[in-house]
Structure formats: structure tokens, C-alpha cells
Chain A
Amino acid sequence: MKILAIESASLVASVAIAQDDKLIAEYSVNHKKTHSQTLLPMIDEIVRMTDTDLNTLDAIAISGGPGSFTGLRIGSATAKGLALALKIPVVHVPTIDAMAYVMYGFDGLICPMLDAKRAQVYSGLYHFKDEFEIVKPQCAIDLKEFIDEINEIGEPVVFLGDGVDAGYHIIEENIKVPYKLAPAHVNRQRAAAVAVLGQKYFAEGKIVSAENEAPEYLRVSQAEREMAEKRRSMDL
């Protein structure tokens, strides 16, 4: 089973090719440049370097959000275009789940965080007990409120993701359980994790058609939010 994975939910652009239990290639860039200019050249690079025949791919795995709306759409449109042209399905991997999977085997709570602005993070909570377990599914949440939830659970926790940098003072001030910050090689999104989780979902039949694939934003647009607020205030 061969899969090409794409991750562009935030500042990191990352692509990978995995076949069965082997990671054939992974290319990650965590640097300010638009994914629109870098993502497809990166895919081109790993495909050429590994002599991958695109027609042997079984699916495209996409880090499906949440994250930067534009970043998610660049990845999604790329995945949809590839899948349309190659006539293969898409595997939609929740971005925060894939980030947690980077910390495979960690004994304790795993808490990936993406900066969601407006004092919020995109986050979730995960465990590796017998297998990968979602304790709290990915969501957009107020960081302070979320730290209180983690304190309540009372287990040691590892944090990773760019939301940690943005909200570190809030974490530091409020956390009451032992915690660690993941080191640089495992503290960002990685397409390898999207690929491996993607293979797992594919085997479980969790696929979507290229046509129906769309990012999971976990937030409505500003215009919709304002319209809803206006309606609410008119009802009162």
C-alpha cells in the first residue's frame, strides 16, 4: 500500500511517501514562504528522487485541518487535484491527530497545539495505552480553559506545536501537572505521521472521494460569525 501525504495546515510544509511499513521519503520545511510556491515543487522533488511512479499510489493522505484556512486549502486543492488526475481516493487525517501521532509511544497525555489566534488554540488530547487513543477530539478552545481541563485529568503531559510558543506564558502560569515540551525533531507537523495514520485509516476503509474532500476548519468565517452575532443581538 503506497500513499503520498501532504501537510500544509500551518507554517510547516511537509510531504511524504510511505509504502507499507516503510517511510520512503519525507521533506519538511518550517520557514516563511508560501505553501503555494513550495508544496508542489516539494512533492515533485521527492517523487523524482525516489523514482516513484505516481500511478502506483493507492491514495493521497491530507492533513485535513484545523489550521490556517489558506494553508489548508492549498493542501486540500493539491490533494484533490492529484487524486482526480490519478483516479484514487483521499484519506482525510485530522491535523491534530497526526501531530499527536508524531509522539508515538509517549507515556502520558499528548497535547498538540496550533495557534488559533484570538486567545485560542486548535488542540486535542491523546494517549498511547494499548494503542493510539483520542482522549479529547481536536477542537478550537480557549487556552486557559483548556489548561484547567488538563489539570483536572491530572496526568503528566507533553506539549508540541506552534500554539505552545504563542501561548507559553498562559501554559506556564496555569499548569499544575508535570509537563514537558517536545524537542524540535518532533514538535511540529510531519507528513510522515499523516502518511502512517493515513495508511491505518485506508486499511479501515476511512476514505473520501477526491470530489468530497474539504478541510475541517473548526471555525466559521468571520462574516458568518458576525452575521450570527447580529442575529442574536436582534433576537434579544
Chain B
Amino acid sequence: MSEVHSEKDVLILAIESSCDETAAAVVKNGRDMLSNVISSQIKLHTLYGGVVPEIASRKHIEKINQVIEEALYEAGVTLDDIDAIGVTYGPGLVGALLVGVSAAKAIAFAKNKPLVGVHHIEGHVSANFIEHKDLKPPFLCLIVSGGHTHLVMMKDYGEFEIIGRTRDDAAGEAFDKVARAIGLGYPGGPKIDKAAREGNPHAMEFPRAHVADSPYDFSFSGLKSAVLNYINHANMLGEEISVPDIAASFQNAVVDVLVEHSMLAAKEYGVDKIVMAGGVASNSALRAGMQKACEENNLEFYFPSPILCTDNAAMIGAAAYFEYIKGTRHGFDLNAVPNLKLGER
């Protein structure tokens, strides 16, 4: 399918509440972000060392209307101008997803607008359509976040094939766990990124895990255990650990595997573009490593700015647009699907 340019602009109001950000946005034609409002709960969850689902759900209910109203106001539109409502319906925390899904359905019903359910990961990928106006499929996409590590072949708008995934921890999850172990706290990604700048990435050689017979799959639990063992061992011997060196060496091991698998897949699938998405796509070492590898392999490299890497609704609006154009519609019985698979309806 080629990109459809209809005569009239298509405005999507998008809602995202799959984890700990309550977000709403208005997106025009899948490419222009008219507003992108995010209410983050991160400070609240920091107290607990990670996202507490019940607390997240309670906060979503408190914030959802305000965030939607702000998104409409900032975009300078009213619900009457909106062509369709897009909403994340999975994967994510079920109680959190339900807030966005229920509100989106009610608004679609009350204003008689089409409802388009969006896969959260399709949203992350689609953040790149906003950032890079001329980016078109096909391309290979590496999605790395606190909940996901996927290598996806995007053949066309809304058409995905997952070619690699993590077998255990998501990359971002490994960052969080290691950050906790070395006393950096939550959220681990940005904190490790910062600490690693002062460290030596080759101070320790942590393992680069490969999954037998699945060259594109990932495994980070072994790496995480290796780091934890290293720390325990040093503690037992009474040796002081270097937080920057551990951060840099751990991060280097993660980046190596992510870049290596992406290059392998790009070659095998014959693509000339690599796209990154998800919260960990903001990691400076990953960006630098992927950039270098892409240059060496003559690949174009795309990634979104940090605000579009984190969970946001603009990316859901972009994905909803391409689904809307394809004819995807959901009924008022749309449910939240916490373990929704990519490409599943």
C-alpha cells in the first residue's frame, strides 16, 4: 500500500495509558503532531522502585480528562473537528490500559466517531513517522523499552513481522535491575546512561548472550546475573566497586548485542533503513553504536527525539492514522489486552 493522501486532512485524537504516563495528543495525517500532552507519574513510582500497577491506574483516572482537554486545546481543535479516536489497547498493565480504553470508547460513542485500537509497539515504531516526514516502509525496526525488546520487519504501514524478541528481560528492565543493584535507583535507563559516561566500557567483559537457533532473539537475564554476581563477589572480598565502570561495561554489552542483531537482520532481509523506537532508543551509547554500525554498513538510520521515545500519545495518533486509512475500526466492546501480540486484532 502506498501512502494515501486524501483530499481532507484526517485528525486523530489519541489516548495512551498503558503504563505510568497518562497521555493524549492530536495528530494530523499521521505525520503532524498538533499537540502531545504527557502527565508522567514517574516520581510517584520512584518511591516504590518501579511502577505499581494499582497506583498507576488510580493516577490515570485522576488525570485522563485534563490531559485530553489540554491536547485538544493546544491543538486548537474541538472534538467536533476530530475524525477518529485512537487508543492503546495493549500490551501493558491491564488496569492502566482500561482507563484509556474506557474513556476513548465513551468519547467515540458520545461524539459518534470511529474508534481505532492501537498496539503500543506499533505506536512506538510510528513515532518515527512524525519525526521523519519522508520515512516510508519497508524498514527494520528495533524497539527497546522497559517492557519490550523486539526486532520487527515493517513491510508496509500497519504490516509487521516480528523477527526477534527477548526470551526473558526486556532491555530496559535489565537497565532498571542493574541500576537498582548499583544504587542508582529508578528509572535505570537514564541513570546508567549518565553514570556510564564517566566509566570504562571495557573495564569488565560481561557476557553477550545469543539464543541458539534464533539469531535475532535476545536474552538479558544472563547479563543481569553476571553483573549482580560481580557485585556480590566484590562485596564479599570487601573490594570497592566502580559504579561508572559497571554501568559503562553493562551498557556496552547490551548495545553490542542490540547492534549486532540489527545488522545481521538488515543484511538477511535486505533492507536499507534501520529505525529505532521505545524508551531505550534515547540511550546515548545505543544511538552512537547504531549510528556507527549503520554508517559502516551503508544503512540509513532513524530514531525519534527523546520526547517521542518515551510513552506518548502522538505516536499512537500516528499509528491510528495509518490503521484508520487501512479501514481498521473497533467496536464498543473493545477490551484492554495486556499481552496483545503485534499484528493481532
A residues with a Cβ closer than 8 A to B are: 34, 36-41, 43-44, 54, 69-70, 73-74, 76-82, 84-86, 210-211, 214-215, 217, 221-224, 227
Instruction: Give the complex CA separation of A38 and B105 in angstroms.
Output: 12
Instruction: Give the complex CA separation of A77 and B59 in angstroms.
Output: 12
Q: Does B106 contact A (CB under 8 A)?
A: yes
Binds A, one of B33-41, B62-70, B200-208, B234-242: B62-70
Tell me the nearest residue of chain B to A217, going by C-beta: B58
B68 contacts A84, C-beta separation under 8 Å: yes
A76 contacts B61, C-beta separation under 8 Å: yes
Given A73-B60, A76-B61, A77-B61, 18 new contacts (CB under 8 A): A37-B334, A37-B335, A41-B333, A70-B95, A73-B98, A74-B102, A77-B100, A80-B61, A80-B65, A81-B65, A81-B103, A84-B69, A211-B65, A214-B58, A214-B62, A221-B52, A222-B54, A227-B47
Residue from the list B52, B79, B110, B333 in contact with A54, Cβ < 8 A:
B110
Residue from the list A44, A79, A214, A224 in contact with B332, Cβ < 8 A:
A44
Q: Does B77 contact A (CB under 8 A)?
A: no
B residues with a Cβ closer than 8 A to A are: 47-48, 52, 54-55, 57-58, 60-62, 64-66, 68-69, 79, 94-95, 98-107, 109-111, 331-336
3 closest pairs, A vs B, by CB?
A: A81-B106, A77-B102, A85-B110
B54 contacts A221, C-beta separation under 8 Å: yes
Contacts of A80 in B (CB 8 A): 61, 64-65, 103, 106
B66 contacts A211, C-beta separation under 8 Å: yes
B64 contacts A224, C-beta separation under 8 Å: no
B107 contacts A81, C-beta separation under 8 Å: yes
The prevalent SS among residues of A at the interface is helix
B103 contacts A223, C-beta separation under 8 Å: no
Q: Assess A41 versus B61: contact at CB under 8 Å? Given A69-B54, A77-B103.
A: no
Instruction: Give the complex CA separation of A43 and B332 in angstroms.
Output: 10
Tell me the nearest residue of chain B to A86, going by C-beta: B110
A221 contacts B106, C-beta separation under 8 Å: no
A36 contacts B98, C-beta separation under 8 Å: yes
Contacts of A36 in B (CB 8 A): 98, 101-102, 334-336
Contacts of B47 in A (CB 8 A): 227
In the complex, the number of residue pairs spanning A and B with C-beta atoms less than 8 Å apart equals 108
Instruction: Give the complex CA separation of A37 and B66 in angstroms.
Output: 25
A73 contacts B57, C-beta separation under 8 Å: yes
Instruction: Give the complex CA separation of A166 and B265 in angstroms.
Output: 56
Contacts of A73 in B (CB 8 A): 57-58, 60-61, 95, 98-99, 102
CB distance from A134 to the nearest CB of B (A): 25
Instruction: Give the complex CA separation of A86 and B100 in angstroms.
Output: 18
A34 contacts B335, C-beta separation under 8 Å: yes
Instruction: Give the complex CA separation of A86 and B332 in angstroms.
Output: 17
Residue from the list A77, A82, A227 in contact with B48, Cβ < 8 A:
A227
Contacts of A40 in B (CB 8 A): 102, 105-106, 109, 332-333
Tell me the nearest residue of chain B to A226, going by C-beta: B48
CB distance from A175 to the nearest CB of B (A): 34
Contacts of B102 in A (CB 8 A): 36, 39-40, 73-74, 77-78, 81
A78 contacts B105, C-beta separation under 8 Å: yes
Pairs A–B under 8 Å by Cβ, sample size 23: A36-B101, A37-B334, A41-B331, A43-B109, A44-B109, A54-B110, A70-B57, A73-B95, A77-B64, A77-B103, A80-B61, A80-B106, A81-B104, A81-B105, A82-B107, A84-B65, A84-B68, A86-B110, A211-B69, A214-B61, A221-B55, A223-B54, A227-B47
